[in-house]
Structure 1
Amino acid sequence: MVEVNSRVSAAWSNWRSLTGVLCDRKIPEHLKSKIYRAVVRPVAMYGAECWPATKEVETRLSVMETKMLRWTAGVTRMDRIRNDAIRQKFGVAPIADKMREARLRWYGHVLRGKEDSVRKVGLELDVFGKRPRGRPKQRWSDTLHTT
């Protein structure tokens, strides 16, 4: 979660440096959307393919993205406009979907790699011994099959 928090704060600082452009009412929404998708979102998503796919991570990123898009659109919660409508207005897919795409893209790279590469060995690694009591921890490979 530390990595996610640092990525979110980096994305916010990046967004703040662009507020002059993103919050300007004279600039069309399709340009604001392109700037957001090209400059801000990659900063937030850097390394997302390796993060755990927990609800906490997805919620944290989704809240960040929604706040940024609302500020960019000049809309508050008091205006009672749904988040999906704002996303559709800007043509931006939910960030959780982008995380899933990044995870699957990374998995494809690992599968196409050499058999003796560290990534592939680590992916297929089986740890011996007894597990502790309670529900088993979710593994990275388990997140691929649930999405």
Structure 2
Amino acid sequence: MERSDNLEDRKDQENSCGNEDIQLSGSRNHQNPLNPSWTAKTRYGRDAVVLQSRRGNCSSHSESCSDAIQRSTIQLDDLDFADDLALLSQSQQQMYEKTTSIAAASAAVGFNIHKEKSKILQYNTASTNPITIDGEDLEDVKTFTYLGSIIDEHGGSDADVKARIGKARAAYLQLRNIWNSKQLSTNTKVRIFNTNVKTVLLYGAETWRTTKAIIQKIQVFINSCLRKILRIHWPDTISNNLLWERKNQIPAEEEVRKKRWKWIGHTL
């Protein structure tokens, strides 16, 4: 995976790719659709490396790259966003070559890879050989966070959903003075909940593998928060449908579906 050091070459490469940015952050989803054996996450010391990582390589959308990961008619070997880069490979040798190439191209233009923030995640492989940069081994991990979402060796979305619920709960508790306020209407409180809590909860939801169990966990959290905001406590009861209707809410499953369609519209 070579990076062009010449600005004109980069422009030519960008044009030949149809000006496609490789912002496939949604492919960070946890059902492991690309099923790579090796994933490397690297972080550059400067944000300006975007010139190299987003413009300098057309192989990410090439259909002839033999070592890339294939899905449908598109083969991917890296996922790039600003100064974050995730490399995908099917063997240790391929990952070593890609990492070495990236490090060399970056050094040629004065950029350094942050080794402490660079991680290696292996999936379904018996290889124990380390990946190194400048003689320093990169950390081999079972899970890491990429663009705010958790990726682990087993795939799936459970770990990320659990983390999202935890962060949303923390955001909710930080606003307890809002929920307990007698000066604010419930409509205002619900609007604050939608913008300050639910957005935290559903961040990255467009890439989740939404099983019934996951949807139920999300919905239970939302319903619990809404009931507290509306001061509905036992023995008072209200159906979930009536709860949603009162405050113009839609089921969590439908919200996730809408986010997926919106994301698809951005990526196609």
TM-score by length of 1: 0.71
Per-residue deviation, 1:24? 2.6
Instruction: Indicate the residue corresponding to 1:65 in structure 2.
Output: 222
Identity of aligned residues (%): 25
Residue by residue over 1:13-33, the C-alpha shift from the partner in whole angstroms, topping out at 9 and shown as x without a partner, is 000011111233442111011
**Does 1:54 find its partner at 2:214?**
no
Pair 13,3 (structure 1): closer, same or farther in 2 beyond 3 Å: same
Aligned equivalents of 1:91, 1:25: Cα separation in 2: 21
Q: Which amino acid aligns with 1:66?
A: N
State the Cα deviation string for residues 21-57 of structure 1 (Å, max 9, x = none). 1233442111011101111000000000000021111
AA paired with 2:252?
Answer: I
1:44 to 184, 201, 210: 201
**SS where residue 250 of structure 2 aligns?**
coil
| Structure 2: gaps of 5 or more residues | 1-157
Q: Is 1:99 aligned to residue 256 of structure 2?
A: yes
Aligned CA distance change for structure 1 residues 25 and 84 (closer, same or farther; 3 Å): farther
What amino acid does structure 2 have at the position aligned with 1:106? W
Higher Rg:
2
Deviations 1:85-124 (A, max 9, x none): 222222222222110000111112222xxxxxxxxxxxxx
In structure 2, the residue matched to 1:15 is 172
User: Greater RCO between the two (CA within 8 Å, min separation 6)?
Assistant: 1
Q: Which has the larger share of strand?
A: 2
Give, in angstroms, the shift of residue 78 of structure 1: 2.2
SS in 2 for 1:78: coil
Residues 1:86 and 1:26: Cα distance change in structure 2 (over 3 Å): farther
Contact residue 23 and residue 74 of structure 1 kept, 8 A:
no
How many residues end up aligned between the 2 structures? 111
| 1:76 alignment partner, SS class | coil
Query: Corresponding residue for 1:4?
Result: 161
How far has the Cα of 1:74 moved from its partner?
0.6
Please give the TM-score of this superposition, normalised by the length of structure 2.
0.40
Any runs of at least 4 consecutive aligned residues in structure 1 with deviations exceeding 4 A, and if so which? none
Whole-angstrom CA distance in 2 between matches of 1:6 and 1:79: 31
CA contact (8 A) 2:168 2:201 kept: yes
CA distance in 2, matches of 1:23, 1:81: 20
AA of the residue aligned to 1:53:
T
2:235 to 69, 78, 85: 78
Q: C-alpha distance in 1, partners of 2:211/2:241?
A: 21
Give structure 1 stretches of 5+ with no counterpart.
112-147
